[in-house]
Each structure stands twice: as structure tokens, then as C-alpha cells.
Amino acid sequence: MKGKETLTLVFLLISGLLCGSILGEVLGPWVPFLTKSKEITWSPAADLEILKYDLNLQVKLNLASIGGLALAFWIYRRMK
């Protein structure tokens, strides 16, 4: 049961980020501070003799996406 709750939380948080980001882009022409964003990048890599990998993860956050994230977390807490 614990794994299902974690999966639900992750799904809701990603959905909240996406919806908030889309809303920020749509409302951007009328509310310009919603489009100001900050990119967070994490890229671990390893180069071993027999194995080499490179992973690049980038998140672009703006005020609307943070609001969507907070709303998604609030919805998750109300579901419990």
C-alpha cells in the first residue's frame, strides 16, 4: 500500500508542475512575472572501463509551476 501512495504523490506533483507551467505560459502576456523562470540541472555521469553513462535532468521552475506543485501537494493531503 505504501508504494501506491508514493506513486500517487509523484504523479500528482508532476501533474501539478506541468499544469502550473502551462498556466504560467498562457497567462504570461498578461501577468509577466509568471514567466520568469529558473532552471535547475543535475547531470551525473560515470566513465568506467566497461560501462559509460550520462544522465541529464533539467527542471524549469516558475512561480506558476511552484503554485501548481503546492496545489498538488494540498490535494494529496486532502485525499488521505
pLDDT in tens, the chain (80 residues): 577 888 999 999 999 999 998 998 898 899 988 888 889 998 888 888 888 888 888 888 889 999 999 999 999 999 87
Q: What number of CA atoms fall less than 13 Å from residue 19's CA on the CB side?
A: 12
Distance (Å, whole) CA 24 – CA 60? 12
Q: Specify the pLDDT at position 76.
A: 92
Q: Specify the pLDDT at position 48.
A: 84
pTM value is 0.75
CB atoms within 10 A of CB 40: 9
Q: Specify the pLDDT at position 1.
A: 58
Q: Specify the pLDDT at position 2.
A: 75
Distance (Å, whole) CA 28 – CA 62? 11
